[in-house]
Amino acid sequence: MELKKSKACVLRVGGTNCDLEVKVALEELGLKTDILHMNQLADGTLSNYQMLVFPGGFSYGDYVRAGAIWGKEIFTKLRKELGKFTDDGKLVIGICNGFQVLVEAGLLPGNSVAGVPTASLANNSSAKYECRWIYLRVESRQTPFARTIKVWDTLWMPIGHGEGRFILPSEEALNELVKENQVIFRYAMPDGRPADGRYPHNPNGAAYDIAGICNKKGNVMGMMPHPERAFFGWQTPSQRGKRKARGDGRCVFEGAVEYIKKY
């Protein structure tokens, strides 16, 4: 499919943010992008798109827990349509709060029954909101979002969350996630070594330093860091008076766009 015939949809509800940043990033890569409120969706709307984005923010104020309300709304209102969307191999990404939403809806790790979450993004171990730039280690290229990156590359992106501690119900569940190459990003030291739970390099206490995962098929991914806030070089902090020519978050969107071109 030619890219000019493809489109992405960034969904929003009360409390979400960074939707415009995602739109700017994707359109910089040539992918036409619409921002739609959940209430604007009608039957068949999603079929017009090749990529769906759940952006960051604090959907519905993150009452109950982060992403819980929107996650249940997604499951009850979009279950069939979104199921067809992902079954067709189309892309879904949840960023920060969007990751929390996908977990709450049962779309990640992707082995839930009837929308029951099988993982959680719990309160940070530091018991405070963490907002800064962190290092990521690329663990797998199982998803198109990581296809343009090399395994074990080190990326630099910002985080901003209070509930990012990824946890699973058992050691067996974690081992299964690793075995299936579903762990895409891990928090890392500046030299690329895994953080091994060490704060502040692992900012929230996530199991196995998990910062991003995908489903087994690879077309649904969630990540806590914000690639849209690290897309352009001018968005990155100055280091010794110099900035990067381009942000590391750009490669996440580049992988998606390359996949859509061949879709």
Give the catalytic positions in this structure: 96, 226, 228
pTM comes to: 0.96
Query: What is the model's pLDDT at position 243?
Result: 82
pLDDT at 1 over 60: no
- Take residue 72 and report the two structure tokens written for it: 């249940």
The SS3 of residue 154 is strand
CA dihedral 189, 195, 198, 201 (to 10 degrees): 40
Can you tell me the mean pLDDT for 23-38?
97
Cα–Cα distance measured from residue 45 to residue 39, given in angstroms and rounded to the nearest whole number: 11
Domains in the chain with CATH codes: 3-262 (3.40.50.880)
What was the pLDDT predicted at 42? 82
Tens digits of residue pLDDT in 58-83: 999 999 899 999 999 999 999 999 99
Torsions phi, psi for 10 (to 5 deg): -105, 115
User: How far is residue 113 CA from its own chain's centroid?
Assistant: 21
Q: What is the pLDDT of residues 114-136, one digit of tens each?
A: 567 889 999 999 999 999 999 99
**48 band by pLDDT with thresholds 50, 70 and 90:** very high
Confidence at residue 119, expressed as pLDDT on a 0 to 100 scale: 95
Summarize pLDDT for 5-15 with one digit per residue, the tens. 899 999 999 99
Please give the share of the chain, as a percent, with pLDDT higher than 90. Answer: 88
CB hemisphere CA count around 90 (13 angstroms): 20
Assess whether pLDDT exceeds 80 at residue 170. Answer: yes
Supply the angle between the helices 97-104 and 68-87 in degrees, to the nearest 10: 80
Q: Which of 84, 80, 74, 86 is nearest to 38 (CA)?
A: 74
CB 261 within 8 A of CB 1: yes
